[in-house]
């Protein structure tokens, strides 16, 4: 069965289609899921939509649709985008589903019975965009929400509270016992300061709402957004509906979320778990934002509410999912912030994929296919060597694993290019196998065999990032290990083919079809 790895992303508001900042998170989580699968884990990768919100019901009403019908159609659209980007999720939960409602009601009842929920009145500044009350400190003198740039409104209502403040000491003890719980490290100090100085009881219900999950011990109220949304992680695992399955899957190994909701996931969520008598998740990773590079050179945050969102499908349909995945994982450091600009997108894609990786593949496959169309002489039983680079193979693989498990994807890709692909291209230029094949075919065959090894290792280490493209590279040769069984370990040792190497990629008129066609950006 393999080791288990339960991975989630934040669930998304379906009040509009996903933008590239949302997709950045999903690709980053997918890279981790694919890497863990390649390392031998049994992966359960969860995604979903956050539907029990006022803004979703309002949007459905604006369109003249029933709220459930609207949510179901938006879930279809979200899944279409994620599928187009090769996101390999195993489950997609809608919080309007019966399994989620059942789990939420069971959870809140358990926390209430344990004495951690009480009724009171609340008055404060409320942001409709966030669907959350804001502190004076968060809003500032102008009372504008910093995220949505809209004025907060003064609001008072009866509600039920979760006694979050009672968990201050338990949370601090938990952080101390689990120093890797909050990642990256830069987020840890922020959360610990919040817990030490600003941990307040939180409103967990709404009144007067027709859409949402009813509170089992007081049906006049619905469960408020965070006490509902965070529970998707356990309801999808079976909490309240299949407790045997839940006990197998929980706790989650990794929550991947945006840095702006770190405090909810690292303070409120583990306290909720403690209150219900279940284990908190093992790790929460708060990734950075993607900023849009404007024509003036300014970098602005991508946001639906700010009206500057770029749709993932614009990039996928114009270019490819591989282009999209590569750019964001290479150019936008996942733990930190990154920028998207159309020209930079084209420059990175052309330099790294078309000119470097794609050109190497075309050269090697073309030369082998033209000059050794059957078996490549001297390759049977020979240990292929990587062209010499700045690191040894063991060093390179160890560093790759370290970066991948820390979700430092940009560094993992930079290392792959520096240690494997750049040296391979330099070796090709130095040995010139296209000339050598005319003078000494056996010697040229051995040079090309080593370049094939560089392509084999690169394809394996690119598998989590570029599943289609890497599979095409690997499938261009008669390697004995099936692609679906290839793991990181396959790149650790030199490849030894029991029989001669054979190129199985198809040539068109004696030429190789470009693996990665160059892209150009229309300046208009």
> How does pLDDT run across 423-436, given as a tens digit for each residue?
999 999 999 999 99
Give kind and range of the element (H or E) at residue 255: strand 254-258
Domain ranges of the chain: 341-512
Cβ–Cβ under 8 Å, residues 490 and 373: no
More confident residue, 207 or 229: 229
- Look at residue 142 in the predicted model and tell me its pLDDT: 83
| Banded pLDDT at 315 (limits 50, 70, 90) | confident
Q: What is the distance between the alpha carbons of residues 257 and 518, in angstroms, rounded to a whole number?
A: 33
Name the pLDDT band for 311 (thresholds 50, 70, 90): confident
pLDDT attached to residue 32: 98
- Whether 1 has a pLDDT exceeding 60, the answer reads no
Token pair in block for residue 57: 């019901």
Q: What is the pLDDT of residue 314?
A: 80
Q: Indicate the burial class of 96 (C-beta count within 10 angstroms; 0-12, 13-18, 19 or more).
A: buried
Q: Which residues contact 439 (CB under 8 A, 6 or more apart)?
A: none
pLDDT at 304: 59
Distance separating alpha carbons of residues 505 and 369, to the nearest angstrom: 8
Bridge-based pairing state of the strands 205-207 and 218-223: antiparallel
Mean pLDDT value of segment 213-217: 97
The number of beta carbons lying within 10 Å of the beta carbon of residue 472 is 17
Mean per-residue pLDDT, 15-43: 94
112: its two tokens: 């209430």
In this predicted structure, what is the pLDDT of residue 297?
Answer: 65
Q: Which residues contact 244 (CB under 8 A, 6 or more apart)?
A: 238
* Residue 523 in this model has a pLDDT that exceeds 70: no
Is the four-CA dihedral 4, 99, 275, 188 of positive or negative sign? positive
Q: What's the 3-state SS for 296-336?
A: CCCEEECCCCCCCCCCHHHHHHHCCHHHHHHHHHHHCCCCC
Question: Could you tell me how far CA 497 lies from the centroid of its own chain?
Answer: 35
Nearest-10 Cα torsion for 449, 454, 455, 456: 90
Token reading at 143: 């009372």
DSSP string, 348-369: HIIIIIIIIIIHHHHHHHHHHH
Whether this prediction's pTM lies above 0.85 is answered by yes
Work out the angle at residue 479's Cα, subtended by the Cα atoms of residues 473 and 485, and round it to the nearest 5 degrees: 85
pLDDT at 140: 80
Q: 285, 265, 306: which is closest to 19 by C-alpha? A: 306
Q: What are phi and psi of 148, to 5 degrees?
A: -105, -10
Range of lowest pLDDT (29-33, 212-216, 300-304): 300-304
Taking the C-alpha atoms of residue 191 and residue 176, their distance in angstroms, rounded to an integer, is: 13
Predicted confidence at residue 303, as pLDDT, reads 63
pLDDT bracket for residue 75 (50, 70, 90): very high
pLDDT band at 415 (very low <50, low <70, confident <90, very high): very high
Return phi, psi of residue 490, to 5°.
Answer: -65, -20
- Answer for the pair 322, 401: CB distance below 8 angstroms, yes or no: no
pLDDT band at 472 (very low <50, low <70, confident <90, very high): very high
Question: For residue 433, with 0-12 CB atoms within 10 Å meaning exposed, 13-18 middle and 19 or more buried, which class applies?
Answer: buried
Distance CA 270, CA 251 (A): 11
CATH class of 341-512: mainly alpha
Show Cβ contacts of residue 35 under 8 Å, excluding neighbours closer than 6 positions: 404, 405, 464, 488
Q: Are 162 and 199 in contact (CB under 8 A)?
A: no
In whole angstroms, what separates CA 179 from the centre of its chain? 23
Say yes or no to pLDDT of 403 above 70: yes
Which helix (H) or strand (E) segment holds residue 271: the answer is helix 269-276
Q: Residue written as tokens 């609207």? A: 70
Specify the pairing of strand 3-9 against strand 41-49: parallel
Q: Are 270 and 174 in contact (CB under 8 A)?
A: yes
Instruction: pLDDT band for 301, please (50, 70, 90 cuts).
Output: low
Task: Return the number of other C-beta atoms located less than 10 Å from residue 523's C-beta.
Answer: 6
- Give the tens place of pLDDT for each residue, 125-162: 888 777 667 777 788 878 888 877 888 888 777 899 99
Residue 329 and residue 287 in contact, taking contact as beta carbons nearer than 8 Å:
no
If you average pLDDT over residues 164-169, what whole number do you get? 97
User: Percent of the chain at pLDDT above 90?
Assistant: 75
């Amino acid at each position: 069965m393999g080791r288990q790895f339960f991975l989630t992303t934040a669930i998304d508001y379906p009040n509009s289609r996903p933008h590239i900042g949302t997709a950045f998170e999903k690709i980053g989580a997918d890279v981790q899921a694919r890497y863990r699968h390649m390392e031998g884990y049994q992966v359960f990768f969860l995604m979903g939509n956050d539907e029990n919100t006022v803004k979703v019901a309002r949007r459905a009403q604006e369109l003249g649709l029933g709220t459930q019908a609207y949510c179901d159609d938006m879930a279809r659209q979200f899944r279409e985008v994620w599928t187009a980007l090769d996101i390999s999720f195993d489950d997609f939960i809608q919080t309007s589903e019966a399994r989620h409602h059942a789990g939420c009601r069971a959870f809140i009842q358990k926390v209430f019975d344990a004495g951690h929920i009480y009724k009171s009145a609340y008055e404060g500044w409320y942001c409709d965009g966030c669907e959350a009350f804001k502190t004076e400190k968060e809003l500032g003198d102008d009372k504008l929400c910093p995220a949505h740039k809209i004025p907060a409104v003064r609001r008072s209502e009866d509600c039920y509270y979760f006694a979050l403040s009672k968990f201050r000491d338990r949370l601090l003890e938990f952080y101390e016992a689990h120093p890797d719980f909050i990642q990256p490290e830069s987020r840890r100090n922020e959360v610990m300061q919040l817990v030490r100085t600003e941990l307040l009881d939180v409103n967990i219900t709404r009144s007067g709402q027709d859409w949402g999950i009813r509170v089992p011990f007081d049906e006049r109220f619905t469960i408020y957004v965070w006490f509902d949304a965070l529970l998707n992680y356990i309801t999808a695992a079976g909490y309240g509906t299949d407790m045997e399955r839940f006990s197998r899957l929980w706790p989650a190994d990794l929550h991947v979320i945006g840095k702006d909701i770190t405090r909810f996931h690292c303070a409120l969520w583990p306290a909720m778990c403690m209150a219900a008598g279940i284990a908190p998740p093992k790790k929460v990773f708060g990734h950075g934002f993607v900023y849009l590079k404007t024509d003036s050179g300014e970098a602005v945050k991508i946001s639906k509410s700010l009206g500057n969102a770029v749709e993932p499908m614009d990039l996928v349909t114009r270019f490819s999912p591989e282009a999209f995945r590569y750019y964001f994982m290479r150019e936008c450091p996942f733990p930190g912030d990154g920028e998207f600009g159309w020209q930079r997108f084209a420059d990175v894609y052309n330099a790294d994929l078309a000119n470097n990786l794609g050109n190497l593949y075309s050269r090697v496959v073309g030369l082998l296919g033209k000059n050794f169309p059957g078996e490549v002489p001297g390759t049977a039983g020979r240990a292929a060597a990587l062209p010499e680079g700045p690191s040894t193979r063991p060093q390179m693989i160890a560093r790759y694993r370290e970066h991948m498990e820390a979700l430092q994807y940009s560094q993992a890709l930079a290392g792959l290019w520096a240690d494997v692909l750049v040296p391979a291209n330099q070796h090709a230029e130095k040995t010139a196998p296209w000339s050598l094949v005319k003078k000494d075919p056996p010697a040229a065959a051995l040079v090309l065999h080593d370049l094939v090894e560089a392509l084999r290792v690169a394809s394996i280490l690119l598998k989590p990032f570029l599943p289609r493209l890497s599979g095409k590279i690997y499938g261009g040769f008669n390697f004995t290990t099936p692609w679906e069984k290839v793991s990181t370990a396959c790149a650790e040792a030199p490849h030894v083919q029991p029989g001669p190497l054979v190129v199985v990629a198809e040539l068109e008129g004696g030429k190789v079809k470009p693996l990665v066609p160059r892209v150009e950006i229309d300046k208009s």
